[in-house]
Amino acid sequence: MLSVIKLFLTSNNTDIQHAMLPQLMCELYSLLNEEYTLELEKCDTKPFCIRLFEKDNEWCWSVTCFGRKAYENIILPLTDRKFSSFVLPGSNDMRISITRKNVFKQSVDSLIEESVLGKSPYRFTLQFIAPTVFKNNDRFVFFPDIYLMYESLLDRSQLVSDKISFADKETFEELVRATSITAYDIKTSRCILDHERTTGFIGRVTFRIDGPELMRGYAKMLFRLGEFTGIGEGGTQGLGAIFLEKEEGRHGQYTEKNNS
């Protein structure tokens, strides 16, 4: 099971900014029970990721969980009505108010089935709503490199299902060759990764996939899973949040109208 809670934030005495993510992580951990917190500390791969991004002049703190246990121990405490405001940890009395909360749940199996077996268009527009950065040969890449993008999406999909894989490397490389960037509107964005400042990118990128419908469906599945898992480096640090904004092609056009 995939689950997401989005908390929309405001403050009267401070400007909310992406650099607050480490403090939001501290606030999140303060809400968890001690036993589960100790369990998380022992995990090499955390069953959740957090994001903080601005959209339509609103700041959203998003927490995505993988599996029912994470949902029960992380999402449910955040839904408590008593959790309506908090003082930002480590700040000088900076109070953050939560204006509303949205919770969404999705079955992994149904997402895979809808994507792979449903009708798949040729073009997909992804919105990178949090700084995104890839890593290749120990170097950071802050551009939507197609190979690194698919490699990351496939790797992060293992967080939610062991059913997702390519039969062989050639099939994976065929998808990479079939994909091209047809439009982009991106800019660099400074961010913090592993306690160090680096550069990522944000914005919109449109991809065209020239291949059989099954291949396009597989790409659609990876994009949709990426909305939950994120992409690139630093998923648990708030980086790499994406949104599948538009699908268009032979089967008409579909535009997501609400990302709240």
Residue-wise pLDDT tens digits, 127-144: 998 899 999 998 899 999
Q: Which two tokens stand for residue 58?
A: 């609103």
The reply to whether 25 and 125 lie within a common domain is: no
Q: Which two tokens stand for residue 216?
A: 């396009």
Query: Nearest-CA neighbor of 23 among 82, 69, 96, 88?
Result: 88
- pLDDT tier, 259 (very low <50, low <70, confident <90, very high otherwise): low
Q: Give percent above pLDDT 70 in the chain.
A: 93
The reply to whether 46 and 153 lie within a common domain is: no
pLDDT of the residue at 167: 54
Last residue of a domain, one of 56, 75, 106: 106
DSSP structure class, residue 19: G
**Burial of 146 (C-beta count, 10 Å sphere; 0-12/13-18/19+):** middle
- pLDDT tier, 245 (very low <50, low <70, confident <90, very high otherwise): very high
The reply to whether 169 and 234 lie within a common domain is: yes
CA neighbours within 13 Å on the CB side: how many for 235? 22
The CB density around residue 103, as the number of other CB atoms within 10 Å, is: 15
Q: Which two tokens stand for residue 39?
A: 């369990």
In our burial notation (b when 16+ CB lie closer than 10 A, e otherwise), range 189-214 reads bebbbeeeebebbbbbbbbbbebebe
Digit-coded pLDDT (tens) for 100-117: 999 999 998 888 888 888
pLDDT of the residue at 145: 95
The reply to whether 165 and 94 lie within a common domain is: no
- pLDDT tier, 255 (very low <50, low <70, confident <90, very high otherwise): very low
- pLDDT tier, 165 (very low <50, low <70, confident <90, very high otherwise): low
pLDDT of the residue at 252: 42
pLDDT of the residue at 56: 82
| Within-domain flag for 219 | yes
CATH label of the domain that carries residue 249: 3.30.70.1900
The reply to whether 77 and 156 lie within a common domain is: no
| Within-domain flag for 260 | no
Nearest-angstrom CA–CA distance, 193 and 3: 24
Q: Transcribe 100-154 into DSSP letters.
A: EEEEEEE-HHHHHHHHHHS---SEEEEEEEEEE-EEETTEEE-S--HHHHHHHHH
pLDDT of the residue at 196: 83
CATH label of the domain that carries residue 85: 3.30.70.1890
| Within-domain flag for 62 | yes
The reply to whether 116 and 231 lie within a common domain is: yes
Name the pTM for this structure. Answer: 0.84
- Residue-range definition of the domain harbouring residue 30: 2-106
| Within-domain flag for 177 | yes
Query: Nearest-CA neighbor of 232 among 111, 126, 144?
Result: 144
The reply to whether 100 and 115 lie within a common domain is: no
| Within-domain flag for 189 | yes
Last residue of a domain, one of 106, 133, 161: 106
Helix (H, G, I), strand (E, B) or coil at 59: strand
Tally the domains of the chain. Answer: 2
pLDDT at 207 over 80: yes
Dihedral sign, CA of 69, 73, 78, 81? positive
The reply to whether 55 and 182 lie within a common domain is: no
| Within-domain flag for 63 | yes
pLDDT at 253 over 60: no
Helix (H, G, I), strand (E, B) or coil at 27: helix
pLDDT at 182 over 60: yes
Nearest-angstrom CA–CA distance, 121 and 107: 22
pLDDT at 20 over 90: no
Last residue of a domain, one of 106, 125, 154: 106
Compute the mean pLDDT over every residue in the chain, rounded to the nearest whole number.
87
| Within-domain flag for 74 | yes
DSSP structure class, residue 71: I
The reply to whether 117 and 232 lie within a common domain is: yes
Lowest-pLDDT range of 34-48, 84-98, 148-162, 165-179 = 165-179
| Within-domain flag for 49 | yes
Query: Nearest-CA neighbor of 150 among 129, 109, 180?
Result: 180
The CB density around residue 259, as the number of other CB atoms within 10 Å, is: 14
pLDDT of the residue at 258: 53
The reply to whether 144 and 161 lie within a common domain is: yes
The reply to whether 36 and 155 lie within a common domain is: no
Beta bridge partner(s), residue 171 = none
The reply to whether 96 and 190 lie within a common domain is: no
Digit-coded pLDDT (tens) for 53-80: 887 888 999 999 998 999 999 999 999 9
